[in-house]
Amino acid sequence: MSDLQHLLASGLSLHQSGRLGEAAKVYEKVLIEEPNNADALNLLGLIFQAVGELDTAISLLSQAGEAAPDYFAPFVNLGNVLQQAGRLDEALDAFRRAILLNPEAAPAYNNLASCLNALDRHQEAMEACVQGLAHDKSLSDLSVNMANALLGLDRPEEALKTLEKVMPHCGDNANAWFNLGLTHMDLGQYEDARDALSKATALESGNETAHYNLALASLKLDAFDAAVTAFERAIALREDYVDAYCNLASAHQSKGDSTAAIECLRTALTFEPESVDLHWNLSLALLQAGRYREGWKEYEWRWRTPTFAAFKRNFSTPQWDGGPLAGRTIALLGEQGFGDAIQFIRYVAMVRERGGRVIVECRAGLERLFSGIDGVAQVVTLGDPLPPFDVQVPLMSLPHLLGTTLETVPAETPYLAPPGESAVPRELFEVSGLKVGLVWAGSPTRRDNHKRSCAPTLLQGLLNVPGTTFYSLQVGPFRDDVRALSEASPGGANLIDLAGFLEDFADTAAALDALDLVISVDTGVLHLAGALGKEAWALMAQPTGFLWMDERADSVWYPTIRLFRQSHPGDWGGVLDAVEAALREKIE
């Protein structure tokens, strides 16, 4: 062994023992003697990579490749550093050069697949994995990258099968556990995702993306405290992690801490001032906190989100600016759900005061109800052609344009009235005692409907309250639950199903008008009861909708609504116990 080879070997020994600074000095001595020594250039490049000086590492590894163009190792290492630096196309070239030099090197195929996945070229990544496994079936990282490619190709079931085969050999492979967690997330298996991602973060505590996804899994499981902890850990590792701030705010808001949510979002906006998601979430947090002037202004960002942008319409006529109408015709454009329309149609009176002729656009089922509003000249079903108008405005932009604050909410009720004629038979209400309407489920089209709705059998205790007749106002796919509820409770004989008479919200208004009390989850019927000035008790999930605010037992929008809130997510038992006690007290 020559003196130079001996010196290089001593440097490698120091390198392998983790004494990087000493090893680097030895490699530099070698390079003084032989500037184009490929081994020294390669190994010194790895040291600079390890300390995060990627540009220097790239320069050294490139020199190594030039000095020994047939030397396989520098090209693999160069590809790794280029990928770490985000120079993915150059990394691909380096990995492919390495494979040309050593076609049986399975690790090179693995690294190539990883880079292709990062470029969303998942089919090519699959092919690289297949080639690599042909040379070494025992290299588990190839299976992990294949699963990642399958996930990118929207084949999560196949990804899971691939990972399940290899996981027994990946006990301490953080990347394998991370990809397993992502696969479970994609399949909606959130508990399994949480377990896998917990393992990944334990093995690699510095992976901010793993902490972030662990937080997302916790959020899906309504484990809000755990989500907050994991999001905060991700942010500690990456100060400008905007997605983590955005979802951390959501976790705080779900806990009922809107103030913390607002602080998170404002911090995130210092990194991305024009982020649509941040502004949209800030609007919801501000509104939930009762900071209406700021919140309604931010709420206008909704039209830039993908969900709302799909429904945004462009008219040749201008959008109303809130000023005097002076006899012009204004179209109030329908948007969002039935409850939203019922809640914000109250603004017709304020618009009418501006001196204009008002056209209301609304979803089918609301036309007859809204036609009875004083000051409405015409009602048009959403989707039908609108008549000529001079200006237009989306219904839920009115609070912003009219300067609504927490103190100036137009809360006077009733602002809606039952129709003069209805299919609901009045004789059904000719009974003694308290007449109570029930709704336990909302529309399944809403993403969180499973959280805001409760199982009908949980209402059994209410049906046993003496001196009370109950009326089911439940319509839609959950209507048939009324039979199970009647059969499950001794008081089921006191439950009258009205669904067959409720053709639209005007019929529902007629039914509510005949009742003494409405008990409902957060649905359009609850809003209608409030708009009619009917006493109503709201069964509120945790978290609640943003306009119900935090902790309050009343509503600033509906003076006759009393809120019964879950103490924690899913606590319908506690809510219904409180409602039953209040109902018995009311009867007495």
- Above 80 in pLDDT, residue 1? no
- Tens-place pLDDT, residues 397-433: 999 999 999 999 999 999 999 998 888 999 889 898 9
Binning pLDDT at 50, 70 and 90, where does residue 169 land? confident
Average pLDDT over residues 6-15: 84
C-alpha span between 157 and 449 (Å, rounded): 26
C-alpha span between 142 and 125 (Å, rounded): 10
Domain CATH for 436: 3.40.50.2000
Which strands make up the sheet holding 329-333, listed edge to edge? 376-381, 357-362, 329-333, 391-394
Rounded to 10 degrees, what is the CA torsion of 187, 190, 195, 200?
Answer: 60
36 and 157 part of one domain:
yes
The answer to whether the CB of 142 falls within 8 A of the CB of 148 is: no
C-alpha span between 363 and 417 (Å, rounded): 18
Within a domain: residue 64?
yes
147 and 220 part of one domain:
no
- Above 60 in pLDDT, residue 392? yes
Confidence at residue 488, expressed as pLDDT on a 0 to 100 scale: 65
C-alpha span between 539 and 563 (Å, rounded): 7
475 and 532 part of one domain:
yes
- Above 80 in pLDDT, residue 487? no
Of 180, 204, 228, the last residue of a domain is: 204
Confidence at residue 489, expressed as pLDDT on a 0 to 100 scale: 65
CA 586 to chain centre: 40
Q: Is 278 exposed, middle or buried (0-12, 13-18, 19+ CB in 10 A)?
A: buried
Confidence at residue 493, expressed as pLDDT on a 0 to 100 scale: 64
199 and 101 part of one domain:
yes
Binning pLDDT at 50, 70 and 90, where does residue 377 land? very high
Confidence at residue 54, expressed as pLDDT on a 0 to 100 scale: 93
Which of 8-22, 286-300, 303-317 has maximum average pLDDT?
Answer: 286-300
Within a domain: residue 416?
no
Minimum mean pLDDT range among 97-101, 448-452, 548-552: 448-452
Confidence at residue 491, expressed as pLDDT on a 0 to 100 scale: 58
Q: Which residues contact 285 (CB under 8 A, 6 or more apart)?
A: 249, 253, 258, 261, 262, 265, 295, 546
557 and 435 part of one domain:
yes
Average pLDDT over residues 329-351: 96
- Above 90 in pLDDT, residue 512? yes
C-alpha span between 110 and 279 (Å, rounded): 40
436 and 295 part of one domain:
no
- Tens-place pLDDT, residues 43-84: 888 999 999 999 999 999 999 899 999 999 999 999 999 999
445 and 363 part of one domain:
no
Q: Name the one residue in this structure whose structure tokens are 């790239």.
A: 58
Binning pLDDT at 50, 70 and 90, where does residue 551 land? confident
The answer to whether the CB of 358 falls within 8 A of the CB of 348 is: yes
- Above 60 in pLDDT, residue 565? yes
Confidence at residue 545, expressed as pLDDT on a 0 to 100 scale: 82
Within a domain: residue 291?
yes
Work out how many domains the chain is built from and give that number. Answer: 4
C-alpha span between 512 and 252 (Å, rounded): 36
Binning pLDDT at 50, 70 and 90, where does residue 490 land? low
CA atoms lying within 13 Å on the CB side of residue 171: 0
Q: Which is nearest to 26 in space by CA: 2, 43, 50?
A: 43
Within a domain: residue 410?
no
Confidence at residue 524, expressed as pLDDT on a 0 to 100 scale: 95
In order of 98, 124, 346, the CA distances from 65 in angstroms are: 10, 25, 73
C-alpha span between 9 and 7 (Å, rounded): 5
- Provide the residue range defining the domain that includes 216: 205-312
Confidence at residue 447, expressed as pLDDT on a 0 to 100 scale: 79
Confidence at residue 9, expressed as pLDDT on a 0 to 100 scale: 81
260 and 333 part of one domain:
no
Binning pLDDT at 50, 70 and 90, where does residue 440 land? very high
Within a domain: residue 303?
yes
Residue type, position 260, single letter: A
9 and 137 part of one domain:
yes
Confidence at residue 242, expressed as pLDDT on a 0 to 100 scale: 96
Of 312, 344, 366, the last residue of a domain is: 312
497 and 385 part of one domain:
no
Domain CATH for 94: 1.25.40.10
**What is the model's pTM?**
0.85
482 and 555 part of one domain:
yes
Within a domain: residue 94?
yes
Of 181, 204, 227, the last residue of a domain is: 204
Measured from the Cβ of residue 508, the count of other Cβ atoms closer than 10 Å reads 29
Minimum mean pLDDT range among 26-35, 193-202, 229-238, 573-582: 26-35
Average pLDDT over residues 572-586: 94
| Mean pLDDT, all residues of the chain | 92
Q: If residue 96 lies in a helix (H) or strand (E), which one and from where to where?
A: helix 88-101
Over pLDDT 70: what percentage of the chain? 99
- Give bridge partners of residue 519 from the DSSP assignment: 438, 537
C-alpha span between 524 and 371 (Å, rounded): 17
Measured from the Cβ of residue 289, the count of other Cβ atoms closer than 10 Å reads 20
Within a domain: residue 324?
no
518 and 503 part of one domain:
yes
C-alpha span between 28 and 507 (Å, rounded): 87
The answer to whether the CB of 553 falls within 8 A of the CB of 563 is: yes
Within a domain: residue 477?
yes
Cα angle value 230/232/237 (rounded, 5°): 100
